């Protein structure tokens, strides 16, 4: 069984999809063992507590340098015997030391069909605002491996989602989560921890 850490920065809707998938027996070889939040008080920590999953807060502002922060993150993962990492709405850049220690073992979900609407500055509602401003008829979500660049690692899974007339960024965001992110992320985690990625 591979112990998985889920890194979060907010409400944890993608975390909930991962937790639900484990409860439903959808992982052959994954166990969500740790939730790491980028700041205290985020709702994702309550989701972890309700599911009986251990949690930790590793906040950039608590450390004098990026190096100390990255070391603390890596130590937290190692202390919990983590074998794979999922970024689920995690808004900090993952340190190079963490990426090196978990090469091809870190998944990220991005709310567009990469290479569209991705890279620095494209996160959360900004992605959907950009898609609507461009007038695309189809958007979606991508799960990819994490490397040292934003939204650049090898693509594991993608799923298209229709953009509908009258969509607002919030409505589109919800549709992409429900029809793509919450389906792809657990599937990709199962693939990763079963040696298919």
Active site residues: 110
Residue 59 backbone dihedrals phi, psi, to 5 degrees: -105, 130
């Amino acid at each position: 069984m591979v112990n998985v850490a889920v890194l979060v920065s907010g409400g944890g809707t993608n975390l909930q999809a991962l937790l639900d998938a484990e409860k439903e027996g959808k992982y052959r070889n994954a166990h969500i063992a740790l939730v790491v939040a980028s700041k205290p008080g985020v709702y994702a920590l309550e989701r972890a507590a309700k599911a009986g999953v251990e949690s930790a807060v590793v906040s950039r502002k608590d450390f004098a340098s990026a190096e100390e922060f990255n070391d603390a993150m890596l130590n937290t993962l190692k202390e919990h015997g983590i074998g794979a990492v999922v970024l689920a709405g995690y808004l900090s850049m993952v340190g190079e030391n963490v990426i090196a220690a978990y090469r091809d073992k870190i998944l990220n979900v991005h709310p567009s069909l990469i290479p569209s609407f991705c890279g620095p500055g494209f996160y959360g509602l900004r992605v959907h605002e950009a898609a609507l401003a461009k007038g695309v008829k189809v958007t979606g979500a991508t799960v990819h491996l994490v490397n040292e660049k934003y939204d650049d690692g090898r693509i594991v899974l993608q799923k298209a989602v229709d953009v509908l007339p009258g969509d607002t960024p919030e409505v589109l965001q919800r549709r992409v989560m429900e029809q793509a992110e919450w389906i792809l992320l657990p599937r990709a985690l199962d693939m990763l921890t079963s040696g298919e990625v």
